[in-house]
Amino acid sequence: MNKEINLTIKPEFVQDYYDGYPLISGEAIVDLANVDDEGSILNLHDSKNKFIAKGYYGKQNKGFGWILSSKKDEQIDVEFFVSKIKSAIKYRDEFYSDKSTTAFRVFNGEGDGVGGLTIDFFDGYYLVTWYSIGIYELKDDILDALKSSVEYKGIYQKKRFDAKGMYLDDADDFLFGKRAPEPLIVKENDVNFAVYLDDGAMVGVFLDQKDVRKTIRDKYAKGKTVLNTFSYTGAFSVFAECGNSKKTTSVDLAKRSLQKTKEQFEVNNIDVSSQDIIVEDVFNYFKYAVRKKLLFDMVVLDPPSFARSKKHTFSASKDYVKLLKEAIQITNNGGVIVASTNSANFSMMTFRDFIKKAFKELNGKYKVEESFSLPKDFRVNPKFKEGDYLKVVFIRKLK
């Protein structure tokens, strides 16, 4: 049984929590220093000791825990998590019945009422990701709730809660049921992905980009030369090729990206030799492309929020304008730049300002064709705008 601790909310933050704000922040709590043990249940009161909400203590880069309930007498136990998981599954009924897509998010943190926890579905296998020691302390109840709420082939986990917010590499991420084949082939809008549920921090595909990939395939790729930067396992390239692109070029600094991208083409019966897969610092590749006067009809920019190589450090909030300027220079007139960021540190409005600034500094003109945020299965809490982190803009470069 996790111990319960009473804490006081500062007066200027009380209304936010009454209104449903889910993050427990250090600046909002008078006596947070009284809490030592992650996983402790926190009962939050106002200065007159009136109950407001209860949550758990778990340190993340965002804050110190998450609100779980506005009901004073509600127990945070297996039954509580069963209700949350079943509600999340009901919200995603359509995804379970869609045979063209067999990988999607089932539970999206605070969007489904439990911050610090995500659950993804991969063709009958479930992957639970823990984002703090605090939520991991509640794992037994959560896993029992999951097992009693779904039919599963197997259940895996990822721990993302060391001091730097990185992945804790255990020897084995497998928990229950039977092990998934390696690779496990899943579908997204009738395109195959090879995923690995027990091979480090990531599985091989970012599920939040499904709508963007489909749009590239269905509306923009046909007959086009496509440059996919920060390409990871080449998912955008695969969708572009499935949309009958003229040719794709995938560039990523990680050596593993070469073999992983080849594999994604191969599981879709695409001739790898007809595509370019380059292991290189993206910024060095931009310089090479300018030097060789290479131009592309489509450039996909999907960098991490922060990245460091031997010669370059990239921060989305500081360096995205520079990145866009590099891309603009190697995009054909009439071509499209797919500008994407998963940084929660700035809004879509600010992101559009980055685009405006980049074109202005190059005396260029552009038109925004369409934009995307998170897909439906990545449910967002309307009281927590930071949770809607994904921003993608399709930009047409004009003459």
Any idea where the domains of the chain sit in the sequence? Answer: 4-69, 78-189, 206-398
b/e 17-50 (16+ beta carbons within 10 angstroms → b): beeebbbbeeebbeebeebeebbbbbebbbeeee
Q: Which CATH architecture has domain 78-189?
A: 2-Layer Sandwich (3.30)
In terms of DSSP H, where are the helices of 92-175?
93-97, 133-136, 139-149
What is the enclosing helix (H) or strand (E) of 349? helix 348-361
Q: What is the pLDDT of residue 170?
A: 63
With respect to CATH, is domain 206-398 assigned 3.40.50.150? Answer: yes
pLDDT digit string, tens, across residues 117-142: 999 999 999 999 999 999 999 999 99
Does residue 165 carry a pLDDT above 60? Answer: no
pLDDT digit string, tens, across residues 179-207: 999 999 999 999 999 999 998 888 999 99
46 backbone dihedrals φ, ψ, rounded to 5°: -85, -175
CB 110 within 8 A of CB 386: no
Q: What is the pLDDT of residue 171?
A: 62
What separation in angstroms does the CA of 216 have from each of 40, 211, 243, 247, 342?
45, 9, 7, 14, 18
How many helices (H) and strands (E) the chain has is answered by: 11, 20
Nearest to 202 by CA among 304, 323, 272, 108: 304
Q: What number is the average pLDDT over the span 136-165?
A: 91
Query: What is the rounded distance in angstroms from the CA atom of residue 337 to the CA atom of residue 298?
Result: 6
220 backbone dihedrals φ, ψ, rounded to 5°: -125, -20
Q: Does residue 304 have a cis bond before it (omega within 30 degrees)?
A: no
Residue 2: exposure state from Cβ atoms within 10 A (0-12, 13-18, ≥19): middle
CATH superfamily membership of 4-69: PUA domain (2.30.130.10)
CB 337 within 8 A of CB 367: no
Residues in a beta bridge with 383: none
Q: What percent of the chain has pLDDT over 70?
A: 97
Q: Which three-class secondary structure state does DSSP give residue 6?
A: strand
Q: How confident is the model at residue 313 (pLDDT cuts 50, 70, 90)?
A: confident
Q: What is the pLDDT of residue 291?
A: 97
Does residue 168 carry a pLDDT above 90? Answer: no
Q: What is the pLDDT of residue 306?
A: 85
Q: What number is the average pLDDT over the span 82-107?
A: 98
Q: Which two tokens stand for residue 294?
A: 């290479």
